[in-house]
């Protein structure tokens, strides 16, 4: 993934039952935080993997309850133990709804070049 030139990038994901899907935009390398909003009435599972498989409802996945927000501090690429969060790396984001469809809004908070502390 490339470096985002702006402080924020936005993505959407339409999570479905029994098959994980990826957001419509991958996480930029300079993304330090991800805010995920689930405005649907359905619980959603998420993990770092290649989308397309069924996610297990166990300790390998995170949960976004219905009508809630999750904030993830991921650190920029050089700070992440697994590096880039892309589908090609096998470490992209994957989401799966548990009951019915759910639309998620994602905000990638990016570190601007030259502002690193």
Q: Given this model, what pLDDT does residue 35 score?
A: 97
Q: Given this model, what pLDDT does residue 105 score?
A: 98
Q: Given this model, what pLDDT does residue 113 score?
A: 63
Strand order through the sheet with 8-15: 8-15, 102-110, 31-38, 68-73
Q: Given this model, what pLDDT does residue 1 score?
A: 61
For residues 42 and 29, what is the distance between their CA atoms, to the nearest angstrom?
Answer: 30
For residues 84 and 29, what is the distance between their CA atoms, to the nearest angstrom?
Answer: 6
Residues in the chain: 117
Instruction: Quickly list DSSP for the chain.
Output: -PPPSSSEEEEEEEEBBTB-B--SSPPPTTEEEEEEEE-SSS-EEEEES-BTBPPPSSTTSEEE-TTEEEEEE---GGG-TT----TTTT--EEEEESSS-EEEEEEEEEPPTT---
Token pair 């419509």 is at which residue? 24
The architecture in CATH of the region 8-110 reads Sandwich (2.60)
Q: Given this model, what pLDDT does residue 77 score?
A: 79
Encode the chain (117 residues) as per-residue pLDDT tens digits: 688 888 999 999 999 999 999 999 999 989 999 999 999 999 999 998 888 989 998 888 999 999 999 999 988 877 776 777 888 888 889 999 999 999 999 999 999 865 544
Q: Given this model, what pLDDT does residue 49 score?
A: 87
Q: State pTM to two decimals.
A: 0.88
Q: Given this model, what pLDDT does residue 89 score?
A: 81
């Amino acid at each position: 993934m490339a470096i985002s030139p702006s402080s924020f990038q936005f993505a959407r994901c339409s999570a479905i039952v029994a098959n994980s899907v990826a957001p419509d935009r991958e996480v930029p390398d300079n993304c330090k935080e991800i805010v995920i909003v689930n405005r649907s009435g359905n619980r959603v599972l998420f993990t770092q993997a290649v989308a397309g498989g069924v996610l297990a409802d166990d300790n390998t996945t995170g949960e976004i309850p219905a009508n809630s927000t999750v904030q993830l501090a991921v650190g920029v690429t050089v700070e992440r133990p697994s590096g880039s969060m892309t589908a090609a790396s096998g470490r992209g984001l994957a989401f799966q709804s548990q009951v019915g469809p759910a639309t998620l809004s994602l905000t990638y908070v990016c570190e601007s070049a030259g502002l690193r502390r």
